[in-house]
């Protein structure tokens, strides 16, 4: 009998917590819909908006806020999306028919894009069973990825884009997902990684290492002793914006603040993850660390993660200032080496690394 009452009380309190949470989400949604979104330009940078943002956007407004936060610098239209979808379908048709006359007009890159997209779509969030063949989002995912590859043949399809696009499709309609994806991949950090710009990627790694050493010296030294360099785990995190490594609900909360704060937040999240799990990581060996970081625990507490991110204290301004300092220092070093090479008979021209825009 005592066990029955105990279980009943647990059920009641559990339901009360769920109801309280639902009321809280409804209240936040109401503030976003009635106060912040209608007056976006004057309200989105207020302390109230930032406080709500940090706690995670309500699902009902997430797509709308993402579109407003990212903007459309590229000035893309929904009509362009439909044109690119048709172009992608024509490319797919040529590949399927194996018509030699049509195939000879296709670049090898376009042919490779088609094969890679079809393969990766099947591997995108397989546990959800919605992006695979016969799933409700399968065609939309193929269309958006194909449209982007057609729109940017110079970039094409890069592994990881399927996860980005899938998350966007869970929160927006396909044309909006295409516009968001295109503008997202135009951001400095994503542009550097998806174009495999080695110079800029190493600048990001070096900046990360500076803050890693400053914030978590015991773990920094342990990683160095085990030759565990940032590229081994950061590339996967940045390529997918944590959507493959973190539980999906936590990843969406990361995306919320990333769209508010920009590139710096990606590296603040990385440091927050390492800080949160530091005691465990210090007991692990090289291979186990990599496995752990590539797929973090499914029960990861988002509030605890965000507490650790806040404790790191990496602001966008601090991050950008360090980026610019490091880029200037690298360029000065290249010029010095060029001058030295010139005095002994000439040498290659330095590769200038441009500073990212300060936001």
**315-349 residues labelled b (16+ CB within 10 A) or e (exposed):** ebeebbebbeebbeebbeebeeeeeeeeeeeeeee
Q: Which two tokens stand for residue 114?
A: 């088609």
Residue 76: the pLDDT is 98
Phi first, then psi, for residue 226 (nearest 5°) are: -100, 10
* Per-residue model confidence (pLDDT) at position 355: 43
Distance CA 2, CA 358 (A): 63
At residue 352, the pLDDT reads 42
Helix (H, G, I), strand (E, B) or coil at 117: helix
Q: Exposure of 246 by Cβ count < 10 A (0-12 exposed, 13-18 middle, 19+ buried)?
A: buried
Residues 234 and 207: their CA atoms lie apart, in Å, by 12
Between CA 350 and CA 284 the distance in angstroms is 41
* Closest by CA position to 142, among listed 127, 161, 128: 161
CB atoms within 10 A of CB 156: 18
What angle in degrees, to the nearest 10, is found between the helix axes of 138-151 and 108-122? 150
Distance (Å, rounded) from C-alpha 294 to C-alpha 287?
11
Angstrom distance (rounded) from CA 187 to CA 10 = 48
What are the C-alpha distances in Å from 2 to residues 6, 60, 281, 341?
6, 42, 42, 85
Euclidean distance between CA atoms 218 and 309, whole angstroms: 17
- For residue 51, how far is the Cα from the chain centroid? 21
Q: Is residue 137 a contact partner of residue 175, using CB atoms and an 8 Å limit?
A: no
pLDDT tens digits, the chain, 359 residues: what are they? Answer: 444 444 554 544 456 777 777 778 899 999 999 999 999 999 999 999 999 999 999 999 999 999 999 999 999 999 999 999 999 998 877 777 665 555 555 667 777 888 899 999 999 999 999 999 989 999 999 999 999 999 999 999 998 899 999 999 999 999 999 999 999 999 999 999 999 999 999 999 999 999 999 999 999 999 999 999 999 999 999 999 999 999 999 999 999 999 999 999 999 999 999 999 999 999 999 999 999 999 999 999 999 999 999 999 999 999 999 999 999 888 887 777 776 665 655 554 444 444 444 33
pLDDT value at residue 13: 47
DSSP 8-state class, residue 10: H
Helix (H) or strand (E) holding 30, with range, is helix 2-31
Tell whether the torsion through CA atoms of 166, 247, 157 and 78 is positive or negative. positive
Give strand ranges (E) for the chain: none
């Amino acid at each position: 009998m005592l066990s029955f009452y105990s279980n009943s009380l647990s059920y009641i309190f559990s339901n009360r917590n769920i109801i309280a949470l639902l009321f809280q989400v409804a209240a936040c949604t109401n503030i976003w819909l009635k106060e912040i979104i209608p007056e976006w330009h004057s309200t989105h940078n207020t302390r109230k908006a930032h406080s709500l943002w940090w706690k995670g956007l309500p699902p009902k407004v997430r797509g709308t806020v993402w579109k407003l936060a990212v903007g459309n610098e590229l000035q893309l239209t929904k009509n362009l999306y439909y044109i690119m979808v048709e172009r992608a379908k024509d490319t797919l048709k040529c590949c399927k028919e194996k018509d030699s006359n049509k195939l000879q007009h296709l670049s090898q890159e376009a042919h490779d894009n088609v094969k890679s997209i079809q393969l990766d779509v099947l591997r995108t969030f397989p546990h959800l069973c919605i992006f695979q063949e016969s799933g409700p989002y399968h065609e939309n995912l193929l269309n958006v990825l194909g449209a982007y590859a057609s729109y940017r043949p110079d970039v094409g399809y890069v592994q990881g884009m399927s996860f980005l696009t899938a998350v966007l499709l869970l929160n927006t309609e396909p044309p909006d997902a295409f516009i968001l994806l295109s503008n997202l991949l135009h951001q400095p950090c994503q542009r550097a990684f998806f174009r495999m710009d080695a110079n800029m990627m190493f600048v990001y790694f070096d900046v990360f290492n500076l803050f890693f050493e400053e914030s978590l010296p015991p773990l920094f030294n342990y990683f160095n002793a085990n030759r565990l360099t940032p590229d081994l785990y950061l590339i996967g995190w940045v390529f997918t914006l944590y959507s493959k490594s973190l539980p999906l609900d936590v990843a969406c909360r990361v995306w919320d603040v990333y769209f508010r704060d920009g590139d710096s937040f990606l590296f603040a999240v990385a440091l927050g993850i390492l800080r949160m799990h530091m005691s465990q990581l210090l007991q692990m060996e090289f291979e186990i660390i990599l496995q752990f970081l590539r797929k973090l625990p499914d029960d990861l507490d988002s509030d605890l993660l965000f507490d650790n991110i806040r404790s790191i204290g990496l602001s966008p301004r601090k991050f950008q200032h360090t980026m610019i300092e490091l880029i200037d220092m690298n360029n000065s070093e290249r010029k010095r080496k060029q001058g030295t090479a010139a005095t002994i008979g000439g040498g290659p021209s330095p590769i200038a690394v441009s500073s990212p825009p300060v936001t």
